[in-house]
Structure 1
Amino acid sequence: MIALSSALRARAFAAGNRFNRPALFTKLMSTATDVENPLLQQEDLPKFKSIEPKDLTPAVNTLLEKLDSDFDQFETTVAAANGAVKYDQVLPELERMQFGLGYVWGIAGHLNGVKNGEELRTAYEENQPRVVQAMTKFSQSKPLYDALETIQKEWTDEEADFEVSQKKRAVEGSLLAMKLGGVGLEGDTKEKFNEMKMKLAELSTKFSNNVLDATKSFSLTVEDTASMEGVPESAKAMWANAHVMYLKSQDAKDDIPEMNPEAGPWRITHDMPSYIAAMQHLPDRSLREQIYRAYISRAAESAEEHNNVPLVYEILRLKQEMSQMLGFQNQAERSLASKMAPSVKSVEELSDLIREKALPAAERELAEITAFAREHGGEEYTEDNLEKLMPWDTTFWSERLKESKFDLTEEELRPYFALPNVLDGMFGLLERIFGVTVQEAEGAAEVWNPDVKFFKVFDAETDKHIASFYLDPFSRPEDKRGGAWMDVCIGKSEAVKRDVPVAYLTCNGSPPVGDKPSLMTFREVETLFHETGHGLQHMLTKANVGDVAGINGVEWDAVELPSQFMENWCYDRPTVYGFAKHWETGEPLPEEMFEKLKEQKIYGAGMMACRQLLFGQLDMELHSNYDPVAGASGEGETIFDVHRRMAEKYTPYSQPLPEDRFLCTFGHIFAGGYSAGYYSYKWAEVMSADAFGAFEDVGLDNEEEVAKVGRKFRDTVLSLGGGVPPMEVFKRFRGREPSPEALLRHNGLA
């Protein structure tokens, strides 16, 4: 996933812009206090050891004052030119102008996700309206818009080299973003639009905080050893360790017992590794039900101070009204104006094409799981006692069926997926197919948590340092939001003289327990590869125009291509055997285990595809056809009615419970960048599967040819960024437009 950083990009013209681009150090400091403020020391990487929440407001004050003055002068100069302006007088100047604030607000947004606390929240929320207001001034500047239009008219439609193509795309993207940001509005309408924009930013932050707080508020302590019968050692160790860590955090006066995975007690939370392990492995149905029901009701009506229900209605209403102010019928149309997909209808057509293949498979899969549960689950699972599996049963029995089918458990695999080994193997893949080497650079950068590692990326041929990244791999439920994402720390930009892009790669994987390293689930391995794919597109860019370098300027429904592409390598023999070795003995993954792992790839593919289609079409329905005002007043469908209605089409075999409040935690669309865009996962998956097909075509065991295709992928998909339209990028790599055939084949649905 790509984080929708609430940070500035170097040119954050409108709501459609996604990434902060931190700045080159400039002489902004005017007082002794400013000089001492680590957020204003911008010549290098962020000073994470020194940065404190109290530093944010003084830094923002200094930077906003300078930015306001600089932009007023810029507008005066541009307006006085009477249209006689050149590209170099506009976009590069804006990048340089917005350096400092982008740097500071990017750090603030990042820490808000990985080191959340009351003091930082308060400072962030106090400054957010001021930052939004400052950026709105840019997005609605008529002199700036006129200057960009003048520059655009000077270019011909003739095919240009990459240097010119970057600039053309940057100007085109800026003009579109300004239109979507309200540059054409005037008077009371403009004022109301801007008020809504600030309110929307506030609501999105509150939504995310509510999910984090609601997730942290749940825990279930289990003391009955019988309830842990058959549970893997890793899960018991994780829960036992969580209990001990909780006691320590509470400053318990009594002696805190040693962690005992076999005897407990065990503390289960809604932190993702803990929750998934409970759903997969707890044999006690009543415990699973209790954990599940609490999970699906997070941040909902019962949460009181963490209630996201009214926020969802208000977010939907604001987006709808703002879109209509801009001349669109709804938020979905506004969203698609800057994406590859031409219409809501085209998204539905792709979804239904995949549904036609996936739904029959999903129904067969669930029927098989149900039959297995009735055969092995005892009296309570017989047909007389259970008409169908309940939601808290499906994952548990799916896991048991998978173990039975493939004679392979997740627990057997974990010892072969120690994080240090997985990283070594993944880095070996990057050298093999992309020609880059990765080296840990301990001590080269300050970090926000001891778990965080810093790495440098080098071109293998020249040994030149071309990029860097931070890796924050483990869950920390006390102050880190769930999920996994990539975000920008420093972007590549000639204007600000930054040639070494830096990324944040954030996961929430299984932490080390005792003397054992992090022993990953296979899904966690795939997630790490996924986020690395996002990072590679940011880090390996050849674009030097900041607005289109890396992921900047890439249409949202193409941005998941590199990330989903990277997941395919988790089933490639040379790649897997580059890291799959026992963490204690060093023995490689047994051959039969690898074969079973590959066989498992399409296990449950129908249900997984239908689930993703549901999320995508639920998102699109809420942002295209739904009336949030009627829903909030009780005169129309509620948002939860819409969820159930869409589930009837895409997951009819598994209807949500009446109390299901999934939408209250759907941060992708209510606190992130996927509003009317969640379909992007499937849209881009068509391209990513087809892209991997190019490697399959030459033979994955043909190292020489694989390397050639890999370099071509680097030189197109990973290098061109937003400087070339994504369809053109794909055609340069594949020689044609993408086909869904590879996706259906990879998922066993062809």
Structure 2
Amino acid sequence: MFEKIITDKKEVEGIPLTALTVAAEKAVLKGYAKATADDGPWAITLDGPSYRSVLQHSCNRSLREEVYRAHVTRASDGTLNNNPIIERILELRLEKAKLLGYSNFAEVSMETKMATIDKAKDLLDKLHSASWNPAIKDMEDLRNFAIAHGAEEAKDLNHWDINFWSERLRESKYDINEEEVRPYLSLPKVIDGLFKLTRKLFDIDIEPADGAAPVWNKDVCFYKINDCSGSPIAYFYFDPYSRPSEKRGGAWMDVVVGRTRVLSCDGASTRLPIAHIVCNQTPPTQDKPSLMTIREVEAVFHEFGHAVQHMLTKQDEGLVSGSKGIEWDAVEIPSQFMENWCYQRDIIMSIAKHYETGESLPEDLCLSILSARTFRAGSQLLRQLRYAGVDLELHSNYVPGGPESIYDIDQRVGKKTHIIPLLPEDRFLCSFDHIFADKYAAGYYSYQWAEVLAYDAFAAFEEAGLDNDQTLREMGIRFRETILALGGGKLPNEVFLEFRGREPSPDAFLRYNGLLPTIIAA
């Protein structure tokens, strides 16, 4: 596991105090008892908060390069090399497909999806066409900005420069600095705002239930969801903070138990669903709560969207309750739908209160956050298209032991999705757990497929009027009774049609991402 102990303060120039505080606390755990945020030493690792802070903020280009190279070559060497495991997984998946009468594993996967291979690839091609030229413009803007600021690397920007200069450009263009926003986004306030929003939309109440169930860490919270009558309908755990030594990176929701009648204690009443939501936020320090970036807020809203589909289901048959039995490319609809609320002015202003003074986020800073949402949207979308594209290629065209290696395929896909070519030694696939250790094999495209439906669903709330509490509640209940309640008991196409009243359109997705001009009525 990569870990770098830094003792020279010059080497951590630019890294925010929040990240240095966590890095110093990690150093203490490594035996450097006198480590402090101001004087070090500091332990730099590849867990999300540490990695992102270095890539976005470190003025030390050689440190950024070292950390980036370590990140894209994770689990690809020595006893921790995942390559043989990946080859065996792909070999067994292809063998399984052949035994079942299919040509490849992607065909097997699509049996539980809304899309077909051709429809999935067609969507990716359309999104690629919409994002490629904006991504080229993104790179030109970045290079020109770096040149204007006298950067030696400006004419030869590499992967470890992109996040750093993107953050500087974003700060300059929108007059926004993540570290200035953090004090206004404390985890307790964000959670309180999220719960108030769900009360308004779905007519439910969420209250702490600490002590009602055992937890696996002192930072884990347990909650109860009540319906409008005050009766409990679901429970969930929330495990918010990064713990690199015992917890994988990223954020996710998973099922503890599902709603079912058959497995209830008496076989007649209904067993209530329980979920757990896990994130990797920057932990609180001795004098500060967990202070978040807007992206971390987005991650919490995203995973809570998954959780409410699990918890607000009305299906009593366990095999189709919650997200069970739902075609896989539809399960991201509630999560991505919830993300949109992070970028509504009223929601941001309700959750963004300074953790010390209680002061609201300044209006200009709020407007900057909203404007910055589409910053480098073309580049960000291309990054997702790489993941989706290589996934489909590996599961539809790759032949284990054939002339092309898995890395050859990744490089080939990367030429279409990266303005700067991938490093020849890039071994990202060795840590691509979504498709090798999770449920997204031949299904990573589902994020984009579901995004189209989720943005279209959110557009229905806009059309109803985001500032009209009555119509908002009516639309929220409609969303709850269809998208959230019906589970796998009805085909997603039919569920969406029942909610929206028409077939989905990609226009809202492209418009929200700044890849389709907003049409203004005359």
Distance, in Å, in 1 between the alignment partners of 2:96 and 2:505 is: 35
Distance, in Å, in 1 between the alignment partners of 2:338 and 2:505 is: 18
Shift of 1:260: 2.0
What are the equivalent positions in structure 2 for 1:165-244 lying under 5 Å apart?
217-244=1-28
Matching residue of 2:463: 697
Query: Is 1:477 the counterpart of 2:244 in the alignment?
Result: yes
Deviation per residue, 1:182-209 (Å, 9 max, x gap): xxxxxxxxxxxxxxxxxxxxxxxxxxxx
User: Contact 1:426/1:578 (CA < 8 Å) preserved in 2?
Assistant: no
What are the equivalent positions in structure 2 for 1:83-102 lying under 5 Å apart?
none
Shift of 1:382: 4.8
Matching residue of 1:353: 126
What are the equivalent positions in structure 2 for 1:371-450 lying under 5 Å apart?
371-378=144-151, 380-383=152-155, 386=156, 389-450=157-218
Shift of 1:227: 2.3
Matching residue of 1:654: 420
Structure 2 residue matching 1:623: 3-state secondary structure: helix
Structure ID, larger Rg = 1
Specify which of 277, 281, 285 is matched with residue 53 of structure 2.
277
User: Contact 2:87/2:400 (CA < 8 Å) preserved in 1?
Assistant: yes
Unaligned residue ranges in structure 2 (runs of 5+): 265-269, 517-522
Matching residue of 2:519: none
Distance, in Å, in 2 between the alignment partners of 1:591 and 1:704 is: 26
Specify which of 393, 411, 428 is matched with residue 644 of structure 1.
411
Shift of 1:476: 0.5
Matching residue of 2:502: 736
Aligned-pair identity (%): 49
Structure 2 residue matching 1:642: 3-state secondary structure: helix
User: Contact 1:490/1:502 (CA < 8 Å) preserved in 2?
Assistant: yes
Matching residue of 1:583: 355
Query: Is 1:521 the counterpart of 2:293 in the alignment?
Result: yes
Distance, in Å, in 1 between the alignment partners of 2:348 and 2:62 is: 38
Distance, in Å, in 1 between the alignment partners of 2:14 and 2:67 is: 18
Amino acid at match of 1:277: S
Distance, in Å, in 2 between the alignment partners of 1:290 and 1:491 is: 44
Shift of 1:237: 1.3
Structure 2 residue matching 1:628: 3-state secondary structure: coil
Kindly report the root-mean-square deviation, in angstroms, between the aligned alpha carbons of the 2 structures. Answer: 1.1
User: Contact 2:184/2:361 (CA < 8 Å) preserved in 1?
Assistant: yes
Unaligned residue ranges in structure 1 (runs of 5+): 1-216, 631-635
Shift of 1:517: 0.6
Deviation per residue, 1:223-281 (Å, 9 max, x gap): 2112233332212212112211222xxxx7xxx21x42121111110011110111001
Query: Is 1:493 the counterpart of 2:260 in the alignment?
Result: yes
Matching residue of 1:316: 90
Shift of 1:588: 0.8
Specify which of 117, 138, 148 is matched with residue 365 of structure 1.
138
CA shift in 2, pair 1:714/1:726, >3 Å: same
Shift of 1:293: 0.8
Query: Is 1:548 the counterpart of 2:320 in the alignment?
Result: yes
Matching residue of 1:601: 373
Distance, in Å, in 2 between the alignment partners of 1:680 and 1:412 is: 34
User: Contact 1:223/1:264 (CA < 8 Å) preserved in 2?
Assistant: yes
Matching residue of 1:625: 397
Structure 1 residue matching 2:191: 3-state secondary structure: helix
Distance, in Å, in 2 between the alignment partners of 1:677 and 1:749 is: 24
Distance, in Å, in 2 between the alignment partners of 1:510 and 1:647 is: 31
Distance, in Å, in 2 between the alignment partners of 1:481 and 1:690 is: 32
Structure 1 residue matching 2:5: 3-state secondary structure: strand
User: Contact 2:415/2:422 (CA < 8 Å) preserved in 1?
Assistant: no
Specify which of 36, 40, 46 is matched with residue 260 of structure 1.
36
Distance, in Å, in 1 between the alignment partners of 2:41 and 2:172 is: 29
Matching residue of 1:454: 222
User: Contact 2:345/2:370 (CA < 8 Å) preserved in 1?
Assistant: no
Structure 1 residue matching 2:351: 3-state secondary structure: coil
Specify which of 303, 311, 318 is matched with residue 531 of structure 1.
303
User: Contact 1:424/1:578 (CA < 8 Å) preserved in 2?
Assistant: no
Query: Is 1:329 the counterpart of 2:103 in the alignment?
Result: yes
Query: Is 1:708 the counterpart of 2:471 in the alignment?
Result: no
Shift of 1:513: 1.6
Deviation per residue, 1:522-572 (Å, 9 max, x gap): 111000000000000000000001100011001000000000000000011
Structure 2 residue matching 1:712: 3-state secondary structure: helix
Structure 2 residue matching 1:716: 3-state secondary structure: helix
Distance, in Å, in 2 between the alignment partners of 1:229 and 1:489 is: 43
Specify which of 715, 724, 731 is matched with residue 490 of structure 2.
724
Amino acid at match of 1:373: A
Tell me the matched-pair count: 511
Distance, in Å, in 2 between the alignment partners of 1:561 and 1:382 is: 39
Structure 2 residue matching 1:577: 3-state secondary structure: helix
Structure 1 residue matching 2:357: 3-state secondary structure: coil
How does the TM-score come out when normalised to structure 2?
Answer: 0.96
Deviation per residue, 1:41-73 (Å, 9 max, x gap): xxxxxxxxxxxxxxxxxxxxxxxxxxxxxxxxx
Amino acid at match of 2:184: Y
User: Contact 2:451/2:509 (CA < 8 Å) preserved in 1?
Assistant: yes
Distance, in Å, in 2 between the alignment partners of 1:372 and 1:494 is: 60
